[in-house]
Structure 1
Amino acid sequence: MAQSAKPISSPVPVDWYPSLAVLMLAVGLVITASFFIYEATSSRKSRSLVKELVTGVMASVFLGFGSLFLLLASGVYV
């Protein structure tokens, strides 16, 4: 026979959504700013592809999760 269905719940408490959104978006914007500063101040020959990729991936992850929590905090369930 079928077992009783267990409701799906979020691994993160709903009360944390606004705080996580602000924190992750702030960190993502700071990393993005450091990426732009690095690109503007370093010469073309002294740039490191690995540093650029790591910085870009970190900024993308923080901004992506920050956007997700911002949508969840505002009631748009994605």
Structure 2
Amino acid sequence: MAPSAKPIGSPLPEAWYPTLALLLLTVGFLVTATFFIYEATSSRQSRSLPKELATGAVASIFLGFGSLFLLLATGVYV
């Protein structure tokens, strides 16, 4: 006989989802705002592609996980 399967569960308590969504989305929007401010205030010659890519990647990660936890908090299980 095969051993009984365990149900798949979240490693985090579901009560944390709204807080994590708010925190991650806030940080993501702040990093996005700094990216836009950097783009608007720096001259074309003084811009740095690695800095732009790093800032964009960090904002994308925070906004992506924030969106995931927002969907989970509202009951849309992805």
**5+ unaligned residues in a row in structure 1: which ranges?**
none
> Once the 2 structures are TM-superposed, how far is the Cα of residue 12 of structure 1 from its aligned partner?
1.3
Distance in structure 2 (CA, Å) of the matches to 1:61 and 1:49: 18
**5+ unaligned residues in a row in structure 2: which ranges?**
none
Distance in structure 1 (CA, Å) of the matches to 2:37 and 2:62: 18
> Once the 2 structures are TM-superposed, how far is the Cα of residue 25 of structure 1 from its aligned partner?
0.3
Please state whether the residue corresponding to 1:43 is helix, strand or coil.
coil
Structure 2 match to 1:75: 75
| Divergent runs of 4+, >3 A | none
Structure 2 match to 1:17: 17
TM-score scaled by length of structure 1 = 0.98
Deviations 1:48-77 (A, max 9, x none): 000000000000000000000000000000
The number of equivalent residue pairs is 78
Instruction: State the percentage of identical aligned residues.
Output: 74
Give the alignment's Cα RMSD to 1 decimal: 0.5
